[in-house]
Chains A and B, each alone.
Chain A
């Protein structure tokens, strides 16, 4: 590994995010970016009533993906 490449490597959270199904990673990324909930629902294609549950599953999946990344790392 060249020293210059390290800076370009995504951090552990981003690596884990990329492993998730797109709707989950998209929802979390948009939420972190401060996008309004109704807009997130439109992007992800769900009803607003389902957003809370989607976040919960997404966070659980992210946690699992991160621990997997760490154990492989």
Chain B
């Protein structure tokens, strides 16, 4: 959160004559600790004359030098600061004007300046700092030279890379004992750290990555762009995260800065930069044909471009992305259109013209060029772009429609519209397409898209079903009806009708001619249905087929994610929790470079939550929510995120936040995800439990189980009953034992053991169930079972065993970051003195009594005495049992 001290507001004039507020942030120095230490060391080294800091404009030389001088002043150095500028350069001793006296000849003047600059009380060392030393006039250079030669002071100089430096100035550090520091731009991580510090909170990783790519770690450029984006409201804080929307606008001040850096360009060189600005990277020979070889060479000499060998060809890029942004800002649109056309033609003439990446580039260039539009190219490119960049795909598909691309282009465009947040518009367009469909296949394609859009995006499940039913009646070919079973399967599963989903999914997947994207939809349904009815052993094979089809589908990332979500849930319900985490991690890897990576964070969050790693779950889910809040509830991901977030907050014991999240969840229910109703009721149960309303929590868990049982969602029934038992329910053992014979996976069996042990008040069995839960990977259940074991032992007056179990429960709870009713009930402090505790800890490390005595310089007899008293106090019967009372980090291996 930014405070008043962190920002300054200025009024600035706009192009239209109005005024707007400019934000100026406080930018701390980050990522320069090592450089500061190096300067500090040189200043304290009697053999060193000083430090010269070199680096590109804006990399942070002046700031570093200024901070180093501040630090030196605090340590007792006498510090003098001067700045050389081009205007002061015209005057002799211009940089040192403050230290000159009038009316003296040159020699006296120089002596006077040296004396003034180096004057200090006895025993105090002086440091002279000169910023932009390459701009020093000759006489000032002489002063500096003399100071260094006489060792009258240490000096700290900054020099900008690429500037002409007078030999007299260069001699200063060439002949002296200088440390040279070449300052490098900030890394991506350092840039993120700086952004977080300046903005006073975490920055969405994608935004930080984009800002780093644009500025390449140049701190000055970063300041300009971030302040402009904050002022204009494109970089905003939402739910504790800074999010950046839209394209950056290069502020006039930054344009001036960059133009002064790249200098006034002759038109021929400007053309090289402009061509690269619209279409980089460009192969060297192509660039030479679009412009001229001499201009390319000159741009290279001036350091405006970079050359890199890629796949045997030389690719040219602009040396800094902002040079291109500035040129684009200044160039007339007609010129940019012509240049895009020239680059597109060059790409079309190359050997790799049909590579997916090149096709997308050719089409993107062509859309805004002076070339005749090519609908086929636009459509092919749009379908390729859907994988990575749906907003771009939408532009390309629209161009294909406008260029007369027909039904295929219109369907692709509607699909892109949905994922571009314009679902209602897509539904209107799709509804009009129905009349133009001429084949059963086209009718199915339209119906499937409409159903998908109506169901998940527009939240109208009944209308989605009606569209599928109406279309089904119009079809004449049997194969087409099977195709329609695919979207039906996915819809049934999400509506919580698992058996219908299993039947429809099986029917669709039996159709040999099923297109890839419908194979995936059918797999969503079948995997979702099988997971819910408890047939988790079968979902692996179905998922494998689905993933293979998703990889070939045009919208692979989204299709794959939907399948991974249902796959992960099936595994979670069955209790295959490590496998569920693996699926989530794979989904993350697959989606990281797509335009919609946030959904995989929800999978990761849910998998972590199922394993009881609440801290980690909260981190992922919060990050996902921050991103999704901006995009809206695309495909119901925000609803799913909020659901898990509510549970996680409640399990973490963050009562107020959990209650707020639950209220938010209730206001934003997604009707398409009826299958999550048991989870929703469980979330209410967890919130009630966090508040301490245990009987209410129990009622919710039971309600969730009953609802799941009525719907045939046996997997959810097991999870709900397990939760009820953890809350203290003593009537679930029989049902769980029955369920354990009906559903796959380890969860039902362990939950049944847990329930039976709780009913019997059997501490040993509860402890055994806790171990089994831990092996399964459900650490919250393991903690709860251990807590119940402690309570049971305590009732039986088995104090040592009770302490052992409560210690285990606490250790697990601490690792998970949870606070549950059973844990709170079981917590009990150990009645040991500090010395006894120390000895018990060492016993736990495997040390013998003589070894402990040796370690603590006690007699073996004294140690034995402490052990005896500790066992008596804790009612333990063996040294192993005693050692197990103190927590050790046994769970870390699960990380």
Query: Chain B's interface: helix, strand, loop or mixed, by majority?
Result: mixed
Asked whether A21 lies within 8 Å of B37 as measured between CB atoms, the reply is: no
Interface residues of A in 1-29 (CB under 8 A from B): 1-2, 19-24
For residue A60, give the distance in angstroms from its CB to the closest CB of chain B: 4
- Bound-state CA distance A61–B187 (Å) is 11
Q: How many residues of B contact A (CB 8 A)?
A: 19
Asked whether B184 lies within 8 Å of A60 as measured between CB atoms, the reply is: no
Asked whether A53 lies within 8 Å of B185 as measured between CB atoms, the reply is: no
- Bound-state CA distance A50–B190 (Å) is 22
Answer yes or no: B38 CB below 8 A from chain A CBs: yes
Asked whether B217 lies within 8 Å of A57 as measured between CB atoms, the reply is: no
Answer yes or no: A56 CB below 8 A from chain B CBs: yes
Asked whether B38 lies within 8 Å of A24 as measured between CB atoms, the reply is: no
Asked whether B187 lies within 8 Å of A21 as measured between CB atoms, the reply is: yes
For residue A25, give the distance in angstroms from its CB to the closest CB of chain B: 9
Asked whether B187 lies within 8 Å of A57 as measured between CB atoms, the reply is: no
Given that A19-B187, A19-B189 are known contacts, is A53 also in contact with B34, CB under 8 Å in the complex? no
Answer yes or no: B186 CB below 8 A from chain A CBs: yes
Asked whether B34 lies within 8 Å of A61 as measured between CB atoms, the reply is: yes
Given that A21-B190, A50-B182, A53-B180 are known contacts, is A60 also in contact with B217, CB under 8 Å in the complex? no
Answer yes or no: B838 CB below 8 A from chain A CBs: no
Q: How many residues of A contact B (CB 8 A)?
A: 19
B179 in complex: contacting residue of A22, A23, A53, CB < 8 Å: A53
| Residue ID in chain A nearest B174 by CB atoms | A49
Specify which chain B residues have a CB less than 8 angstroms from the CB of A30 in the assembled complex: none
Given that A21-B190, A56-B38 are known contacts, is A46 also in contact with B185, CB under 8 Å in the complex? no
Specify which chain A residues have a CB less than 8 angstroms from the CB of B475 in the assembled complex: none
For residue A32, give the distance in angstroms from its CB to the closest CB of chain B: 19
Answer yes or no: B441 CB below 8 A from chain A CBs: no
For residue B1, give the distance in angstroms from its CB to the closest CB of chain A: 24
Asked whether A20 lies within 8 Å of B187 as measured between CB atoms, the reply is: yes
Given that A21-B187, A21-B217, A57-B34 are known contacts, is A49 also in contact with B181, CB under 8 Å in the complex? no
Answer yes or no: B35 CB below 8 A from chain A CBs: yes
Answer yes or no: B54 CB below 8 A from chain A CBs: yes
For residue B851, give the distance in angstroms from its CB to the closest CB of chain A: 29
Asked whether B38 lies within 8 Å of A23 as measured between CB atoms, the reply is: no
Hey, what's the 0/1 contact readout for B20-57 against A, CB within 8 Å counting as 1? 00000000000001110110000000000000001000
Asked whether B35 lies within 8 Å of A57 as measured between CB atoms, the reply is: yes
- Bound-state CA distance A37–B184 (Å) is 18
Specify which chain A residues have a CB less than 8 angstroms from the CB of B33 in the assembled complex: 64
For residue B31, give the distance in angstroms from its CB to the closest CB of chain A: 8
Asked whether A24 lies within 8 Å of B184 as measured between CB atoms, the reply is: yes
Asked whether B187 lies within 8 Å of A54 as measured between CB atoms, the reply is: no
Pick the 10 closest A-B CB pairs, nearest first.
A60-B34, A21-B187, A50-B182, A21-B184, A23-B184, A53-B180, A50-B180, A61-B34, A46-B182, A57-B34
A57-B38, A61-B34 provided; 14 other pairs, C-beta below 8 A?
A2-B582, A19-B189, A20-B187, A21-B185, A22-B184, A22-B187, A24-B184, A46-B182, A50-B180, A50-B181, A52-B180, A53-B182, A60-B34, A64-B33
Binding site for A on B (CB under 8 A): 33-35, 37-38, 54, 179-182, 184-187, 189-190, 217, 582, 895
28 A-B contacts, Cβ less than 8 Å apart? A1-B895, A2-B582, A19-B189, A20-B187, A21-B184, A21-B185, A21-B186, A21-B190, A21-B217, A22-B187, A23-B184, A24-B184, A46-B182, A50-B54, A50-B180, A50-B182, A52-B180, A53-B38, A53-B180, A53-B181, A53-B182, A54-B182, A57-B34, A57-B38, A60-B34, A60-B37, A64-B33, A64-B34
